[in-house]
Amino acid sequence: MKGEYILRVENLHKNFGDREVLHGISFDVKKGATLVFIGPSGTGKSTLLRCINQLTEPDRGKVFLDDEEITGCGARISGFRQRIGMVFQNFNLFDHLTSVENVEIALLKVRKMKKENARAKAMEELRRVGMADWADHYPAELSGGQAQRVSIARCLAMDPEVILFDEPTSALDPELTREVLEVMKDLARSGMTMLVVSHEIGFARSVATEVIFMEGGRIVEQGPPLEIMNNPKHPRTREFLGRIEHD
Amino acid sequence: MDPITFFIQILAPALWQGLLITVALVALTAPFGLLLGTGISLGRQYGGRALQAACSGYIFFFKGCPLILLLFMLYFGLPSLGITLPAFTAAVIGFILCNAAYNAEYIRGAISSIKDGQMTAAQALGMTRFQAIESIILPQAMRRAIPGLSNEFIYLIKYSSLAYMITVIELTGAAKIAATKYFMYNESFLAVGIVYLALVTLTTYAVSLLEQRIAIPGMGTKNLI
């Protein structure tokens, strides 16, 4: 039925050489949901996100955005990517552009917005993540937390329907992690649809609508955060949670 | 003839004429050499298999071919194939072909020093590869390529003297002619050496001004020269 799910992933497979990274992943995402993917490193969580916006091409399986198929869409992929934001572990801000230029560049080049409109929109998004005072600074002059907030603003400026967060706080110390998580919590509460790969269990507990535990390229267990955290059914989930909560 | 009269009446006017030709050679070569070099490095980095092979072949050929041979072929060789080029044109074409090959190598090095994440982030925002190269990759790569490109520009100033071998009377040629005619070798060559030194100094200064103007914190373009 149309419109119920903003994003649908069907039976994704991906191999790198003879290493199987994704082994038939399927899930649906309702509009406004926040899915948090947890699991040991190297289990294909980041690859999964990259397969959704086709930065990595899956070998098999389908991805639908609002019932339109993304997989195998050829040159139309740029159009889909405008609607799916992505936030990276290493921020990937454009090094030669200031914060505000980072946020407005896609508005200018992709959306072909007028300069003054793009600037106004970029400043609005910087304000939303608390970075308006740093508009004219270059990425090298920002702390990791600030850089990640600018990269979230860059993403938001495109008015995405879904945002993929690929370990957004893994490169940050606890203090900076908190400021980024605050921004992400606000986003989740404002109704943004988010897929988050993260080891931040506290974040998962407080804002996730669903937690998905992955291992070996498969979804082992999924469900509401409290159920997964407090009462994991699968022994592997239990073991993993026990390990990170003691860290 | 005493050296001072020689300098004022003979050498200085000759060097001035030669300087104009040298500057014209360099000014016509540099922009097209940069354009062609950029195109070749992009073709080699981002093109399909055939284009990559063609661009690598270009660099292989023109890096390996002595410039003087290239000029001889263009000026003395082509007429037998029915193509006769004026000496000045042959020189500019030869310089562009050679200059582009080296520029392409400097730009390729700069492009490959840019982290993959820059392209990934651009594409994730919905940019096409072309848009990403134009607005993200090239502005960064060109900044990083400046030290190499400016060295190549300085080489160009100096190897433009090879045009004399195909009868273009540029700086070195003008000095050589005056020196031979009046038997004033040391005076002539010392004077022309000073002119080259001045040109190179001017270039170095202009490049460092340019670098300061476009310097970006964290991009390491400061104080590279």
pLDDT tens, residue by residue, A23-37: 999 999 999 999 999
Question: Smallest Cα–Cα separation from A65: which of A34, A29, A33, A24?
Answer: A29
CA distance A227 to B81: 83
A246 touches chain B (CB under 8 A): no
CA distance A173 to A184: 16
pLDDT(A142) > 80: yes
A93 touches chain B (CB under 8 A): yes
Interface test with A, best of B113, B116, B125, B221 (most A CBs within 10 A): B125
Tell me the CA distances in angstroms from A229 to A177, A199, A233, one per residue in order.
21, 13, 10
A136 touches chain B (CB under 8 A): no
pLDDT band at B218 (very low <50, low <70, confident <90, very high): confident
pLDDT(B3) > 90: no
Q: What is the pLDDT of residues B111-127, one digit of tens each?
A: 999 999 999 999 999 99
- Residue range B18-39: mean pLDDT, rounded: 97
Q: Which of A75, A95, A106 sits opposite B125 (nearest CB)?
A: A106
pLDDT of residue A246: 59
What CATH topology corresponds to B3-213? MetI-like fold (1.10.3720)
Question: Smallest Cα–Cα separation from A48: which of A154, A165, A135?
Answer: A165
In the beta sheet, which residues pair with residue A63?
A9
Question: Which residue is it, tokens 């605050």?
Answer: A182
pLDDT of residue B183: 93
pLDDT(A99) > 70: yes
Determine what percent of chain B is predicted with pLDDT higher than 70: 97
B167 within 8 A of B142, measured Cβ to Cβ = no
Nearest CA in chain A to B141: A96
Neighbours of A72 (CB within 10 A): 12
Q: Which two tokens stand for residue B204?
A: 């170095």
pLDDT(A114) > 60: yes
CA distance B31 to B149: 11
Q: Which of A79, A90, A93 sits opposite B126 (nearest CB)?
A: A79
In CATH terms, the superfamily for domain A5-88+161-246 is P-loop containing nucleotide triphosphate hydrolases (3.40.50.300)
A12 within 8 A of A24, measured Cβ to Cβ = yes
Question: Which residue is it, tokens 């000759």?
Answer: B14
* Cβ-based contacts under 8 A for chains A and B: 77
pLDDT of residue B223: 43
B1 within 8 A of B188, measured Cβ to Cβ = no
In the beta sheet, which residues pair with residue A164?
A86, A195
pLDDT of residue A2: 59
pTM for the complete prediction? 0.90
B221 interaction partners in chain A (CB closer than 8 Å): none
A76 touches chain B (CB under 8 A): no
Contact B125 A110 (CB under 8 A): yes
Tell me the CA distances in angstroms from B129 to B6, B134, B155, one per residue in order.
61, 9, 33
B67 within 8 A of B75, measured Cβ to Cβ = no
- Report ipTM for this prediction: 0.93
DSSP-assigned states of every residue in A68-126: EE-TT-GGGHHHHHHHEEEE-TT----TTS-HHHHHHHHHHHTS---HHHHHHHHHHHH
Determine what percent of chain A is predicted with pLDDT higher than 90: 87
User: Dihedral of CA B31/B46/B117/B136: which sign?
Assistant: positive
Q: Where are the alpha helices (DSSP H) in chain A?
A: 45-52, 77-83, 99-109, 115-128, 144-156, 174-189, 201-207, 225-230, 235-246
In the beta sheet, which residues pair with residue A221?
A213
- Residue range A118-145: mean pLDDT, rounded: 96
Q: Which of A53, A78, A86 sits opposite B127 (nearest CB)?
A: A78
SS3 state at B145: helix
CA distance A92 to A154: 11
pLDDT of residue B224: 41
Sequence spans of domains, chain A: 5-88+161-246
CA distance B83 to B131: 40
CA distance B100 to B39: 9
